[in-house]
Structure 1
Amino acid sequence: MGCGKDFDTGNCVADILKEIVEAQNDIVENCCDTGCEQSINDLLGETDNGNGLDTVPVILYNKDGSPFKGFGAPKEHHKIGEIVASFIFRVKKVFDDNCAVLELLLSDGETCGHDHLKDPTDQNTKHLEATGICITVNLDCFCHVTCLPAINAFR
């Protein structure tokens, strides 16, 4: 099999995948039940108007393919609270220099330390809430993003 006949991106895999998508789209509507495009449409109310959703939770992956885990601590009465960790974030800002501010999302009442989180599947995703704990990251350090279904993170 060649590198594709209709595309020439300079990347053989990308060319073939583009041809596959084009062929599939000719046969059937090519929608995903979950994914970034669907979550953004849900957030904007394009699929369910007036849904009250305010966040597209994301999981980021480092260039080596490992999931990125962020750490932070809440402020508690002029002191630093217990350090918490999360694999799931709300994007707050993205700057022109590819830096971004991410807010850690945790399930309601989840204040466990960070030792139990070895993998994103260890994290409870029921009732994810904004924590107010933000970190700044360099987006050039990531190679993959997973968008979870849109939610209401501010209760």
Structure 2
Amino acid sequence: MGCGKKFDTGNCVADILKDIVEAQNDIVENCCDTSCDQSISDLLGESDNGNGLDTVPVILYCKDCKPFKGFGAPRHNGGIGDIVASFIFRVKKVDDDNCAVLELLLKDGETCGHDHLKDPTDQDTHNLEATGICLTVDLDCFCHVTCLPAISAFNN
């Protein structure tokens, strides 16, 4: 290891970040307005009873630190509709082998192609809806998850 001393976790960056969090927590309460914990709390109604929320939208990042973009196509008149893409997903299922089923979330009525989406900031997050378009991923391929504020993806 090239960090110069033995660290508790074997990862000098992780140990330094843990030390920073511990020091910050000694000074001020350490909570975030937007985080996975906050989104889950909002979804469960712990912060606002009866809120009607049903989804924690997530953005996943591959091990190369690039955001993951999923592709799929809806059923259309007994065939296949246009291929769509999204950086934002609803987690449908996670199994014991770290495989997950993700559903693409798109702006209400959005059916355009994927060329305009270069990164997550290109995607409109207003009125995200469940699309019914799902894909299966290996969660061991990801190193980062960003949770967006909880939404109602089925009742727009």
1:153 aligns with 2:148: no
Q: How does 1:1-155 map to 2 (within 5 A)?
A: 8-155=8-155
RMSD, aligned CA: 1.6
Equivalent position SS for 2:42: helix
Deviation per CA, 1:72-118: give whole Å up to 9, x if none. 00011211111100000000000111100000000011111111111
- 5+ residue gaps in structure 2? none
Equivalent position SS for 1:46: coil
- The amino acid that maps onto 1:108 is D
The answer to whether the 8 A contact 1:3-1:16 is kept is: no
Deviation per CA, 1:120-154: give whole Å up to 9, x if none. 11111000000000000011111111100000000
- The amino acid that maps onto 1:51 is N
**Which range moves more in the overlay, 84-93 or 12-21?**
12-21
Equivalent position SS for 1:140: helix
Equivalent position SS for 2:15: helix
Equivalent position SS for 1:51: coil
Mapped to 2, the partners of 1:20 and 1:125 lie a distance apart of 32
Where has structure 1 moved over 2 Å in runs of 4 or more? none
- The amino acid that maps onto 2:147 is C
Equivalent position SS for 2:104: strand
Mapped to 1, the partners of 2:11 and 2:65 lie a distance apart of 20
1:8 Cα deviation after fit: 1.3
The answer to whether the 8 A contact 1:24-1:30 is kept is: yes
Taking only the aligned residue pairs, the percentage that are identical comes to 84
Number of positions where the alignment pairs a residue of Structure 1 with one of Structure 2: 153
Mapped to 2, the partners of 1:9 and 1:22 lie a distance apart of 15
1:3 Cα deviation after fit: 6.3
The answer to whether the 8 A contact 1:3-1:13 is kept is: no
- 5+ residue gaps in structure 1? none
Q: Could you state the TM-score of these two structures normalised by the residue count of structure 2?
A: 0.93
Equivalent position SS for 2:110: coil
Mapped to 2, the partners of 1:134 and 1:18 lie a distance apart of 36
- The amino acid that maps onto 1:29 is E
